[in-house]
Structure 1
């Protein structure tokens, strides 16, 4: 969780205009930081910058294939953290670096805001931070105002402060690891948006409890839904029971332990061996570090709850939600109708 305590923490702010280099849009650089004299504008900007990050529990880190110090955004942020007087010069370098990577024909130009926050609280720790934010989309707003005892209507275009297009917060902690970085990208599913995370920032997910939990949840879900049915005879109800037991394990435990999970959730020795082999194959194929034991991230579990689907879909007629005792549902086959059926046992109807 990220929190900026009050407006005084927005210590420095500068704005540049970064166009699309391929389309020959200009790069317009401010010569000095913006002086905020209106407290309301400062408050609105602070909300615009920070609000999208408040429920973001996933962190990244700057990387480079040869040497971390060759990552340009990492280098420019480090120089600002070392001396605040470097702020304006390094903000220009950040803008030039983004302009260099704004080459995809569908990338929109927009205002680039570079901000220095003197006090941020991230995961309970108070640190300084650098914010890099870009607005690409503009909206049209109606202006209703009183003129000569009559109301008039006009319009203007501007930025929707409730929707940040792209953002990055760099926290001044763990510099040697590439800092702790949080990212927002409202159009990250589109190919042209890859430039923000991969080309411009060059970041990777941090190998922390959030990432480890998210990865292991995915492994468990794929193993139960795809791998187990290939090796063992089981129906959809059996799968749902295992998914429910997996979900309960991650929800109720503070720490993941591979052997404990395998024994409590899967139980059968052959299934346990198959799961451990699947985990190893997953680690090797995707080059991921998935340790045998790690702290479970509640935020990651909450985000991944959707993968544990406990819905039994029967043709297009019925959806059965299975949450409890596996013994209360029985599968059969009707010879006369030549159709499968489920028998449900219950004590009361609500």
Structure 2
């Protein structure tokens, strides 16, 4: 978790980066911004850091070869942390590197802000952090003010909404040998091909395999198993699938620690389905090179995140939705020969 109630913005440089495939260039400023205006500092802090307070995932910088020294952003961050006098010079190199990877035709041009923060808190540590941000979306604003007994309306084009950061990251001065701790925001556009350039091509990130990600990955994996894989091996109604998802969510909300054997025994139950899930898990680990431990501490934040996408609703044509939150034995499925239609029978004690 990131907080910035003690943080301060020490230095910031702004550059412009275009899109190579559109024959756009980059433009570098000659010096860092003057930060004498306290209101500007406050607005910039809000613009850059507020979206990152919501970041749960912590990443590390990496390189596909395994040699971290080949990650350009890691090298730039190291130089800044070791010698802040080189900040503006390094900010120019960061902008040039972002330009080098901005080759997809749908990548938008925009301003790049490279900032140095002091006393940003992550996971209980107050640390210096290097921030890299990009604004791509511009908006038009109306300005209304009194004028000779009435009001005048003007507008300003190509303004930046400080509540809508497009892309950003904070690189914390800790765990250098592991690729530093990094949190990121990326409001991806409609083109996923264009979207990957920030995390994959520019920063080259790998997600840290901590309790949050172990919990998040296990719940996501199990959801995909129930909704996509089980049909290949077992005949199951949608109500039964919803019940399996509800039971898994109940397990994660009530337990402090995940145990694979306990989870599969209590939630899945069927020995054949248990074996199928473990095989499915192994295939996921091999394909994505992301091991999931047999035991780990459950992250409440990850459970809350997954709970938003776990569906407990049974949709019947366009007429009815049935929300199943508890005992699935109180709902029965049948077929009416006269109407030639399926039906559900629902048992309850009180109507509210």
* Band the TM-score falls in, shorter-chain normalisation: over 0.9
User: In 1, distance between residues paired with 2:134 and 2:228?
Assistant: 41
Query: Which residue of 303, 312, 325 maps to 2:314?
Result: 312
SS in 2 for 1:222: helix
Residue equivalent to 1:171: 172
SS in 2 for 1:96: helix
SS in 1 for 2:41: helix
Deviations 1:245-273 (A, max 9, x none): 00111122222111010011112222222
- Structure-2 change in CA distance of 1:68 and 1:348 (3 Å): same
1:126 and 2:126 correspond: yes
After TM superposition, list the pairs within 5 Å mapping 1:141-152 onto structure 2: 141-152=141-152
State whether residues 221 and 307 of structure 1, in contact with CA within 8 Å, keep that contact through their aligned partners in structure 2. no
Residue equivalent to 2:69: 69
User: In 1, distance between residues paired with 2:264 and 2:333?
Assistant: 26
After TM superposition, list the pairs within 5 Å mapping 1:157-306 onto structure 2: 157=157, 158-190=159-191, 191-306=193-308
1:78 and 2:112 correspond: no
TM-superposed CA distance for 1:275, in Å, is 1.8
TM-superposed CA distance for 1:216, in Å, is 0.9
User: In 1, distance between residues paired with 2:170 and 2:190?
Assistant: 20
TM-superposed CA distance for 1:134, in Å, is 0.9
State whether residues 98 and 202 of structure 2, in contact with CA within 8 Å, keep that contact through their aligned partners in structure 1. yes
State whether residues 60 and 203 of structure 1, in contact with CA within 8 Å, keep that contact through their aligned partners in structure 2. yes
- Structure-2 change in CA distance of 1:105 and 1:271 (3 Å): closer
User: In 2, distance between residues paired with 1:109 and 1:331?
Assistant: 55
User: In 1, distance between residues paired with 2:125 and 2:208?
Assistant: 18
After TM superposition, list the pairs within 5 Å mapping 1:88-99 onto structure 2: 88-99=88-99
Query: Which residue of 332, 336, 339 maps to 2:341?
Result: 339
State whether residues 6 and 120 of structure 2, in contact with CA within 8 Å, keep that contact through their aligned partners in structure 1. no
TM-superposed CA distance for 1:149, in Å, is 4.6
TM value normalised by structure 1: 0.94
For the aligned residue pairs, the C-alpha RMSD in angstroms reads 1.8
Deviations 1:266-291 (A, max 9, x none): 12222222222221122223332111
- Structure-2 change in CA distance of 1:316 and 1:153 (3 Å): closer
Deviations 1:24-45 (A, max 9, x none): 3332222222121111111111
TM value normalised by structure 2: 0.93
- Structure-2 change in CA distance of 1:109 and 1:233 (3 Å): closer
